Amino acid sequence: MAALAASHKTGLIPFITAGDPSPQLTVPLMHAMVAGGANILELGVPFSDPMAEGPVIQRACERALKYGVGLRDVLEFVREFRETDATTPVVLMGYANPIERMGQQVFIAAAAAAGVDGTIVVDYPPEECEEFAAGMQAEGLDPIFLLAPTSTEARIRQVAAAGRGFCYYVSLKGVTGAGNIDIADVSERIAAIRQHVKLPIAVGFGIRDGATARAIASVADAVVIGSRIIQELETTPHDKAVETAHNFVAGIRAALDAPA
């Protein structure tokens, strides 16, 4: 993200669920999104009760779980990706349960060895995961935290103190893929967050196309787009999935980079 800031470009962070639409496609999809202009990849860890996700990502989790994809498989996808891409940051997004089952320190060591750069754990607020965050930082990994429209100033200060890498601002109340973004409201909230948080701010939830991505880019350092990519993949034959992901991400990148 520091390199992005220096380049004065808006970061593009596409999200897919690992193992969806099939495990064999995860690593090729990751490479395709980088080729399309992604700056950071967000890889979802399949979980049976993804409480922050809307129906699109819930279905993606269900499909991946039917293939038996778990946290260790996700780390293996990252390791395989790293064989030919040593530089594009990869952030895992998921829930505490799979990490707790593996063991926090075991997970941290395995994530570092695989080439993970950071994690967003939805149900690890900063005040409840001090040991985890410290362990992550000791291995050079970034604990990344969420802020929402309802976040208090106290919570913003906690995230400012504990977070690394970037701050993920959830632009909508509710679940991923829902509703329409109020750009003026997002702008106001981000301005308030920046009073305390010196990290780059990425905005996700509700970004559907180049137009909304470009609007968000006027106030954020990066945009996260997930549900729309998964919707595209849901309706695409597997043999066209890589091309579809590349083209979709390239379209968002072009919108972000278009002259004002």
> What average pLDDT score do residues 128-156 get?
96
**SS3 sequence, the chain?**
CHHHHHHCCCEEEEEEECCCCCHHHHHHHHHHHHHCCCCCEEEECCCCCCCCCCHHHHHHHHHHHHCCCCHHHHHHHHHHHHCCCCCCCEEEEECHHHHHHHCHHHHHHHHHHHCCCEEEECCCCHHHCHHHHHHHHHCCCEEECEECCCCCHHHHHHHHHHCCCCEEEECCCCCCCCCCCCHHHHHHHHHHHHCCCCCCEEEECCCCCHHHHHHHHCCCCEEEECHHHHHHHHCCCHHHHHHHHHHHHHHHHHHHHCCC
pLDDT attached to residue 135: 98
pTM of the model: 0.94
Residue 40: the pLDDT is 97
The predicted structure's pLDDT at residue 52? 65
Structural domains in the chain, sorted by start: 2-250 (3.20.20.70)
Known active-site residue 53? yes
User: What was the pLDDT predicted at 124?
Assistant: 94
Least confident of 155-169, 176-190, 223-237: 176-190
Place 182 in a pLDDT band, splitting at 50, 70 and 90.
confident
**At residue 131, does pLDDT exceed 60?**
yes
List, for residues 193-227, the tens digit of each pLDDT value: 999 999 999 999 888 899 999 999 999 999 999 89
Higher pLDDT pick, 208 / 110: 110
pLDDT of residue 49: 82
pLDDT for the residue numbered 228: 94
The one catalytic residue among 42, 153, 232, 234: 42
Average per-residue pLDDT for the chain: 93
User: Average pLDDT of 16-23?
Assistant: 98
Model pLDDT, residue 175:
47
Q: What is the mean pLDDT of residues 221-242?
A: 96
**Which of 53-57, 134-138, 165-169 comes out lowest in average pLDDT?**
53-57
pLDDT band at 55 (very low <50, low <70, confident <90, very high): confident
